[in-house]
Amino acid sequence: MKVDAIRPDRLMAGQREAMARDIAMLSSWRDGFVEVACPACDGQGRIDLYAKYGLQHHRCADCGTQYISPRPTDEMLGRFYALSENYAYWAAHIYPASAETRRVQVFRPRLELVRRVLADRGRKGGTLVEVGAGYGILLEEAAATGLFDRCIGLEPSPRLAEICRDRGIEVIERPYETTELDQPADIIVAFEVIEHLFRPADFTAWLFRSVRPGGLILLTCPNISGFDTLLLGHHSTAVDHQHLNYFTPTSIARLLERFGFIDVTVTTPGRLDVDLVRRAWREGLVDEATLGPFVAHVLATGDDALDQHLQQFLQQASLSSHMMAVARRPDAAGAETAP
Ligand SMILES: [Zn+2]
């Protein structure tokens, strides 16, 4: 898959200007930012890495999670997303221009991940909850499969919640913090959510409360120890002003286990690493010395089949920069059975 299909180049100049204004807005609130400990393990020890967009990044000395501290508070983040010109620009230009491509190239593969997770664990659909339902495309596709008894979207943005309702989706128009489900979910999914949150630990505790005993959760987020993120470092597009938390496969597992989840499996189904690294090289953000002669040689061939082989290898070796964590809440006390 190529980046251009879902982020059309011709529209990205306007997006960059909107993003620059967003960053300026966030920076102007810096005096109110707060220091935090590691979002995965709560450890205090850390190594200072670099500042990007005026935000200081650290690496947890204990679990390897990269994170921004000091960071905007919950209240600031709510205000930020409500006022974001970048989000408004995506809604007005990029999503409409790429909606059908996204349906095919992003949302159907996501649904396929969900189906495979259920099938691998011998589950039927039951109630599916998506946190951050956005435009509702995943839930629309999920409902059409007939696999689930009920599909619910949590979507705090009034504009997006409206779009979901227009698609016939059951929507809870609230942030997760103030949401109590009327019945526990069989599976909760959250694609590209946890990296944005002020307190991932609170979210993990909420997931545990909101899924039924024996139920599953599925999260996706960047993997800071992947091909794109390790080779490009602070030049990686995964490292931005909206992502506050950058887990590794082991550190996200640690976070989930801290709050009682079991059977945690982390995979890296990412499909963009090779294209992203080649683009950064072409744009002069990294040089051959950084990539090393082997990677530079492979990328210079520009052979689609070779790109696919390399990307498949990264997926299979858990080395892509986009990861998925699946975990289970234990069955009710005393009823736990061996898997
Ligand atoms: Zn840590």
**CA of residue 218 to ligand 1 center, whole Å:** 21
Walk along the chain (339 residues) in steps of 10 and give the mean pLDDT of each run: 67 87 96 98 98 97 98 95 90 84 93 96 93 95 96 93 94 95 97 97 98 97 98 97 97 98 97 96 96 95 94 97 98 60
**CA of residue 268 to ligand 1 center, whole Å:** 20
**CA of residue 207 to ligand 1 center, whole Å:** 20
Cα distance between residue 75 and residue 304, in whole Å: 45
User: Which residue, 210, 213, 191, is CA-closest to 326?
Assistant: 191
**CA of residue 72 to ligand 1 center, whole Å:** 19
Which residue carries 């997760």 as its tokens? 176
185-191 and 262-267 beta bridge pairing: unpaired
Backbone dihedral angles phi then psi of residue 313, each to the nearest 5 degrees: -60, -45
**CA of residue 49 to ligand 1 center, whole Å:** 15
Specify the pLDDT at position 95.
Answer: 83
**DSSP secondary-structure letter at 259?**
T
**CA of residue 222 to ligand 1 center, whole Å:** 16
* Chain centroid to CA 300: 29
Q: What is the pTM of this model?
A: 0.92
**CA of residue 250 to ligand 1 center, whole Å:** 10
Which residue carries 């002020």 as its tokens? 198
Specify the pLDDT at position 339.
Answer: 42
Cα distance between residue 224 and residue 139, in whole Å: 28
**CA of residue 34 to ligand 1 center, whole Å:** 17
User: Which residue, 109, 113, 331, is CA-closest to 218?
Assistant: 113
**CA of residue 239 to ligand 1 center, whole Å:** 18
Cα distance between residue 252 and residue 238, in whole Å: 16
Q: Of all helices (H) and strands (E), which one includes residue 317? A: none
**CA of residue 251 to ligand 1 center, whole Å:** 7
**CA of residue 65 to ligand 1 center, whole Å:** 5
**CA of residue 40 to ligand 1 center, whole Å:** 5
**CA of residue 37 to ligand 1 center, whole Å:** 8
Q: Identify residue 142 by its one-letter amino acid code.
A: A
β partners of residue 47? 59
Which residue carries 């396929």 as its tokens? 112
127-131 and 185-191 beta bridge pairing: parallel
Backbone dihedral angles phi then psi of residue 238, each to the nearest 5 degrees: -70, -25
**CA of residue 199 to ligand 1 center, whole Å:** 13
Cα distance between residue 49 and residue 67, in whole Å: 10
**CA of residue 184 to ligand 1 center, whole Å:** 30
C-alpha count within 13 angstroms, C-beta hemisphere, residue 57: 21
**CA of residue 60 to ligand 1 center, whole Å:** 5
Which residue carries 């951050």 as its tokens? 132
Cα distance between residue 22 and residue 44, in whole Å: 29
Angle at 96 between CA 90 and CA 98, to 5 degrees: 90
Cβ proximity of 198 and 77 under 8 Å: yes
**CA of residue 158 to ligand 1 center, whole Å:** 34
**CA of residue 64 to ligand 1 center, whole Å:** 6
- Would you tell me how many other CB atoms lie within 10 Å of the CB of residue 248? 24
Cα distance between residue 117 and residue 216, in whole Å: 9
**CA of residue 258 to ligand 1 center, whole Å:** 12
3-class secondary-structure state, position 206: helix
**CA of residue 108 to ligand 1 center, whole Å:** 33
Backbone dihedral angles phi then psi of residue 328, each to the nearest 5 degrees: -125, 140
**CA of residue 136 to ligand 1 center, whole Å:** 33
Cα distance between residue 287 and residue 232, in whole Å: 10
